[in-house]
Amino acid sequence: MKEKFESFETLPEVIMEGGLRTKKIFKSSKTNKPLITVITAVYNNEIYLEECIKSLHNQKYDNFEHIILDGGSTDRTLDIIKKYEDKIDYWCSKKDNGIYHAFNNGMKLAKGDYLGFLNSDDVYTENAFELLNVYIKNNPSKDFIFGAVKKHWGILHGYKPYKIFWSWGFYSSHSTGFFIKKNSAKKVGLYNLKYKYSSDYDYFFRMIVKEKLKGIGTKKNELFGVFRRGGYSSKINFFDHFIEEIRIRLDNGQNRFLVLIIFIYKFLKNISKL
């Protein structure tokens, strides 16, 4: 059973919190400027967090809210957050059960028309939100948008939903490039915390296959952000990731024979990594 949204202005039982909302300052949609909620999950990332925050707060498109969920950092992360407290809409420090739990909390706090996820390792390009607003205006019927994202080995771009049945390489990026209407996100529900490593794959399977939501991808030169090497996903053991991917397909009712073929193919292709 998918978990539904519960709306909060602030989170209960936090260690500490701050931001504009704690001062009763709330943002809202404007004519031709929908409110964009950006959720950042962070834990002990003093190295890159400030660069991440600046990449959002320096956007020319200014109707966004920033929610930062800290998982109980012990380095300078909280000092950096407090430095930008007058520009952050809400932040809190609270022990959580990992990045997807933090994302769920952020979604519950979101007031925006669209939701986006900016990991603390990553950055937006300087015109990312201007590009995003153009796509929102030109594609009002689309539920979500995948912006092109630069990784260390190239640029991920486009959106090919038909590939989801045998490959997870059908989109550009979960974080940084992904934006979804809040009302559409409510149909999908929250991230399933049963999956520790690949809950985003489960989310997308439910979003595309089960709920049949419609999306669009930007062109290669319409870059939304940069996905830094060495983040959360790069630290996951290949075997753990692989097994969870197969479990997600089975749990979502995909044809077992097709899943078996996928399992055998990927096992043989990546046997050296196992």
Q: Would you place residue 228 in the very low, low, confident or very high pLDDT band (cuts 50, 70, 90)?
A: confident
Average pLDDT, the chain: 92
Q: Are residues 159 and 269 located together in one domain of the fold?
A: no
Whether 84 has a pLDDT exceeding 60, the answer reads: yes
Q: Are residues 62 and 170 located together in one domain of the fold?
A: yes
Q: Are residues 138 and 166 located together in one domain of the fold?
A: yes
Q: Are residues 105 and 25 located together in one domain of the fold?
A: yes
Q: Are residues 134 and 264 located together in one domain of the fold?
A: no
Residue at token pair 């404007």: 30
pLDDT digits (tens, 9 = 90+) for 57-66: 999 999 999 9
Whether 1 has a pLDDT exceeding 60, the answer reads: no
**3-state SS of the chain: helix, strand, coil percent to 5?**
35, 20, 45
Q: Looking at the domain assignment, is residue 99 inside a domain?
A: yes
pLDDT digits (tens, 9 = 90+) for 232-246: 555 667 788 889 999
What pLDDT is recorded for position 211? 97
Q: Looking at the domain assignment, is residue 20 inside a domain?
A: yes
Q: Looking at the domain assignment, is residue 6 inside a domain?
A: no
Q: Tell me the residue range of the domain where 266 lies.
A: 237-274
Q: Are residues 204 and 112 located together in one domain of the fold?
A: yes
pLDDT digits (tens, 9 = 90+) for 113-147: 999 999 999 999 999 999 999 999 999 999 999 99
What pLDDT is recorded for position 272? 65
Extended beta strands in the chain, E state: 16-18, 36-42, 64-70, 90-93, 114-117, 123-124, 144-146, 148-151, 154-156, 178-181, 215-217, 223-226
Q: Would you place residue 231 in the very low, low, confident or very high pLDDT band (cuts 50, 70, 90)?
A: low
Is this prediction's pTM over 0.95? no
Q: Are residues 268 and 159 located together in one domain of the fold?
A: no
Q: Looking at the domain assignment, is residue 146 inside a domain?
A: yes
Q: Are residues 84 and 184 located together in one domain of the fold?
A: yes
- Final residue of a structural domain among 193, 211, 229: 229
Whether 37 has a pLDDT exceeding 80, the answer reads: yes
Whether 85 has a pLDDT exceeding 90, the answer reads: yes
The number of distinct structural domains making up the chain is 2
- pLDDT (average), residues 220-242: 79
What pLDDT is recorded for position 241? 85
What pLDDT is recorded for position 152? 81
The domain that contains 102 carries what CATH number?
3.90.550.10
CA nearest to 42, candidates 22, 69, 20 = 69
Q: Are residues 63 and 45 located together in one domain of the fold?
A: yes
What pLDDT is recorded for position 235? 61
